[in-house]
Amino acid sequence: MRVALTRFLVVFTVEASIAIAAEPITWQPEGLAGGGAMFTPAISPVDPRRMIVNCDMSAAYISHDAGRTWRMIHESQLLSNIRCRPTFHPQEVDTIFAANGWSGRLAVSRDGGETWKAIGNLRGDLIGEIAINPHRPQSMLAGVNQEVWQSQDGGTNWVRCDGPKGEAVGFCFRQAGSGGRGAILAATHAGIWRSDDDGKTWAEKSTGLPWKNLRGFTGGFDHEGKTGMLYCAIPSKNQGGQFAGGVYRSRDVGDTWESVPGLGLNKDIKPADQWAHHPVAQYYRVLTTSVRPLTVYALNANTGVIPPHQTAVYRSDDGGNTFRPTFFPDPRFPGYNVEPDYTTVGDRQYYQSIPENVAICPTDPDILIQTDSGNCIITTNGGRQWYNGHARQAKQAGFFECTGLVVTTTWHYYLDPFEPARRYICYTDIGFARSMDAGGTWRWWAEGEKAPWRNTCYELAFDPEIRGKTWGAFSNVHDIPNDNIISGRHNSKGPGGVCLSVDHGEHWTTVSKGLPEAPCTAVVLDPNSPKGNRTLYAGVFGHGVYKSTDDGQSWSRAGQVGSKDNRRVCRVQLHRDGTLLALVTAMRQENGWLADGPGLYASSDGGSTWRLLNESQPLLWPKDFAVDPADSKVVYLAAANARPHQQAGLYRTRNGGRSWNLLARKGPEHFGVALSPHHKGWIYLTLCEGAPGAGLWLSRDDGETWVPFDDLPFRNIQRVTFDPSDSATIYLATFGGSVWRGPAEPGR
């Protein structure tokens, strides 16, 4: 019986493993959520558990559980728009309208956000918001450039409204009934307009406002239009020692406006501390509903971080006569009522932002969502408590689960060489995070654990013999070598350096003596150097390659790489045969692209001398490279277009750079390449900004043919990481979508 039972168990185990292996691997995000800029939230009036948020890194996200978890909308269906708030249909739970892309066309989803189609004949950029008349949903308004447009057939046909001018701020509809006539109101930066004949004619209704430049507008009326209120927010000023401006209201559908009494509002006219957003209290958004028009929220920029000067989300239940603060986000001060996230746990403080991106549920004034440069914070009880859409605490103290709202840039994903369940992510904006449970939960570095350059970790190097000993390349300059840096939109100069951790990344100390105070983009270790006295190489943006022969304690320049005008090293790699390679990326000047300097350089003497490896194939904007681990003469180099030079693509040399051939050109900005350690001849190429389709491609035949990963929802892919023990799974570091874990083959 024991033998028979054992055989049965063996058969059962084999069959179970086959069944598990047959299950498709789906793409799932990993790492910390939030940490990047989020915009234009919206909440469904039919099902308030449904929410949408947009990110400035190209993705839009949808939640079906009131922001507890999120799904990135596939970028082939909808790209984010940070200037136009989407809207949910007031009656059809699965219908959503949104602006598709930065200046894209109006799009509609009829299946709850799964698929999207273009709709309507709007011309120009959608700005402000899209609004649907809750009483007659065929009637819609939208901000387009400096105009307001109207549709009377549910978004198919649009006409420009003759009256409202300026960038749209908000809209309001009043139902005709026993309480009075119907009305449509449109607010722009330039004023407020009302139509009493369903949009045929418009009249400005700004009487009583001391000045314009409206920041916020909202209104609500009961279902018969009997009672209601309009509110707006205008810039505040110090006039003769008195607070002026701020929040205004209209009791007569916009005919006249008055300043709200606003007892309880912050009306500071001087900063309370050095961290004030403004010296005078400023109000950016106002929110109300037709359910309770006398319940209104006024969202302010702070005049200091300590209450009562903080960003407070003031609430009034009497039409603006009196207000009370509802938002106490900083754990250092009394009243703290926001669920902790990894920054408040790690730094024990909250970093306040100007509240420009907020939404209220049209059918429940107790439900609000606000987003900023790192946080998505939600209340469902009118501000008594707030929870995070971007962070969910795990059982282990200090660790957090991924909510799916992944909006950060990542440069590398690592499995610890000694303990594979330990994982590490190199981030932009939030620096660094580590996992102890194979990516299930993540811990952000806390105060006292961080590198002095906290914005970006570009790369790690692990000691091959000492557990937990790790060097990191850090910088306060991010996005190298992507377009923000190359085009000059972001400053490329700033501090950085190398740090050392001896406890698996829990604490970091500086080891940068001899390095220039500049962005450190790469760090690599020579495994053949003696333990405790390792040889390391660091790439320093704008300065070249530096070398240490004493475990990183001191550094000196390793020869002359690049040109005197361009030593913008963005990547360094050391081949097992001792060949050292360094990539110098692009430099743009007023008269165009600098041709002298960019390229891939190789050294066979530890960095003393260098030769340009791609001299026969000049590239103005190379971004990353890979070397065949078995042969340093086989090198792959990815490049982006340097317009008007069409150089984008993946290139390969098999003879150490004497000649190159173009393997693939799938978009304007190829970023990187990775060679599978599990399958000979498998090559992965990645595309970053501007990918016209998939951002990840695979060749199973050494570059002859390529297959896209169409199921991957995000397009801006940077690097690929492999699990040595799992050939079926890969990990992707992305430009703005955190890390994704998924199948090593398309369609698997």
Q: Mind listing the pLDDT tens digit for each residue in 276-291?
A: 999 999 999 999 999 9
Residue 566 CA to residue 582 CA, distance in Å, equals 13
Beta strands in 476-605 (DSSP E): 496-501, 509-510, 520-526, 535-540, 544-548, 556-557, 569-574, 580-584, 588-589, 592-593, 599-603
**Which of 322, 407, 474 is closest to 38 using CA atoms?**
407
Q: What confidence score (pLDDT) does residue 336 get? A: 97
Quick check: 706 pLDDT over 90?
A: yes
Residue 599 CA to residue 620 CA, distance in Å, equals 7
740: Cβ contacts below 8 Å, ≥ 6 apart: 27, 28, 29, 30, 712, 714, 731, 732, 734
The secondary structure element, H or E, covering residue 246 is strand 242-250
| Pairing, β 364-371 against β 357-361 | antiparallel
Q: Are 706 and 664 in contact (CB under 8 A)?
A: yes
As a whole number of Å, the end-to-end CA separation of the chain is: 40
Q: What confidence score (pLDDT) does residue 102 get? A: 87
C-alpha separations of 140 from 150, 172, 192 in Å:
6, 10, 17
Q: State the greatest distance between any 2 C-alpha atoms of the chain, in Å, as a whole number.
A: 97
Q: What confidence score (pLDDT) does residue 305 get? A: 96
Quick check: 699 pLDDT over 80?
A: yes
User: Could you count the other beta carbons within 10 Å of the beta carbon of residue 452?
Assistant: 14
The two tokens of residue 103 are 């200046």
Mean pLDDT for 393-415 is 97
C-alpha separations of 220 from 201, 207, 251, 297 in Å:
22, 19, 11, 13
Q: Are 480 and 585 in contact (CB under 8 A)?
A: yes
The secondary structure element, H or E, covering residue 150 is strand 147-151
Question: Strand, helix or coil at 505?
Answer: coil
239: Cβ contacts below 8 Å, ≥ 6 apart: none
**Which of 187, 170, 192, 184 is closest to 134 using CA atoms?**
184
The two tokens of residue 416 are 């610890």
Report residue 437 CA to chain centroid gap. Answer: 25
* pLDDT tens digits for range 515-560: 999 999 999 999 999 999 999 999 999 999 999 999 999 999 999 9
Question: Strand, helix or coil at 445?
Answer: coil
Residue 39 Rama label (left phi>0; alpha psi -120 to 50; beta): beta
Residue 128 CA to residue 85 CA, distance in Å, equals 6
Residue 522 CA to residue 473 CA, distance in Å, equals 6
In the structure, what pLDDT confidence band is assigned to residue 484 with cuts at 50, 70 and 90? very high
Q: What confidence score (pLDDT) does residue 175 get? A: 87
Residue 672 CA to residue 687 CA, distance in Å, equals 7
The two tokens of residue 30 are 């990993």
Q: What confidence score (pLDDT) does residue 103 get? A: 82
Average pLDDT of the chain to the nearest whole number: 94
The secondary structure element, H or E, covering residue 157 is none
Domains of the chain: 445-590 (2.130.10.10), 613-748 (2.130.10.10)
Residue 82 CA to residue 349 CA, distance in Å, equals 27
Question: Strand, helix or coil at 487?
Answer: coil
Q: What confidence score (pLDDT) does residue 25 get? A: 83
In the structure, what pLDDT confidence band is assigned to residue 23 with cuts at 50, 70 and 90? low
The two tokens of residue 290 are 């037709």
Q: What confidence score (pLDDT) does residue 224 get? A: 64
Quick check: 615 pLDDT over 70?
A: yes
Q: Are 250 and 229 in contact (CB under 8 A)?
A: yes
| Amino acid at residue number 707 | V
Q: Which residues pair with 389 in a beta bridge?
A: none
The two tokens of residue 525 are 């270790």
**Neighbour-count burial of 109, counting CB atoms closer than 10 A to its CB (0-12 exposed, 13-18 middle, 19+ buried):** buried
Quick check: 14 pLDDT over 70?
A: no
Quick check: 24 pLDDT over 80?
A: no
DSSP-assigned letter for residue 240:
T
Q: For residue 724, is the peptide bond before it cis, meaning its omega torsion is within 30 degrees of 0?
A: no
Share of the chain above pLDDT 90, in %: 93
Mean pLDDT for 117-123 is 94
Q: What confidence score (pLDDT) does residue 20 get? A: 40
Range 358-367 burial, b when 16+ CB lie within 10 A, else e: bbbbbbbbbb
In the structure, what pLDDT confidence band is assigned to residue 703 with cuts at 50, 70 and 90? very high
32: Cβ contacts below 8 Å, ≥ 6 apart: 342, 391, 400, 402, 408, 425, 427, 430, 433, 442, 444, 738
| Amino acid at residue number 252 | D
In the structure, what pLDDT confidence band is assigned to residue 747 with cuts at 50, 70 and 90? confident
The two tokens of residue 522 are 């790469």
Mean pLDDT for 612-621 is 98
Mean pLDDT for 84-96 is 97
Question: Strand, helix or coil at 343?
Answer: helix
| Amino acid at residue number 499 | C
Residue 345 phi/psi, 5-degree rounding, is -75, -45
Mean pLDDT for 65-90 is 97
Q: What confidence score (pLDDT) does residue 700 get? A: 98
Q: Are 675 and 628 in contact (CB under 8 A)?
A: yes
- Nearest 10 degrees: CA dihedral of 674, 677, 683, 687? -30
Residue 604 CA to residue 598 CA, distance in Å, equals 19
Please enumerate, as own/partner, the contacts of 551-558 that have beta carbons within 8 Å and a separation of 24 or more: 551/500, 551/511, 552/471, 552/498, 552/500, 552/511, 553/511, 553/513, 554/513, 554/514, 555/498, 555/512, 555/513, 555/514, 555/515, 556/514, 558/603, 558/606, 558/607, 558/608
Q: What is the 3-state secondary structure (H, E, C) of 279-338?
A: CCCEEEEEECCCCCCCCEEEEEECCCCCCCCCCCCEEECCCCCECEECCCCCCCCCCCCE
In the structure, what pLDDT confidence band is assigned to residue 293 with cuts at 50, 70 and 90? very high
Quick check: 380 pLDDT over 50?
A: yes
Q: Are 425 and 415 in contact (CB under 8 A)?
A: no
Q: Are 256 and 238 in contact (CB under 8 A)?
A: no
The two tokens of residue 203 are 């009249």
Residue 442 CA to residue 398 CA, distance in Å, equals 8
Residue 485 phi/psi, 5-degree rounding, is -80, -45
In the structure, what pLDDT confidence band is assigned to residue 13 with cuts at 50, 70 and 90? very low
Task: Give me the DSSP letters along 611-635.
Answer: EETTTTS--SSEEEEEE-TT-TT-E
Q: What confidence score (pLDDT) does residue 590 get? A: 84
Share of the chain above pLDDT 70, in %: 96
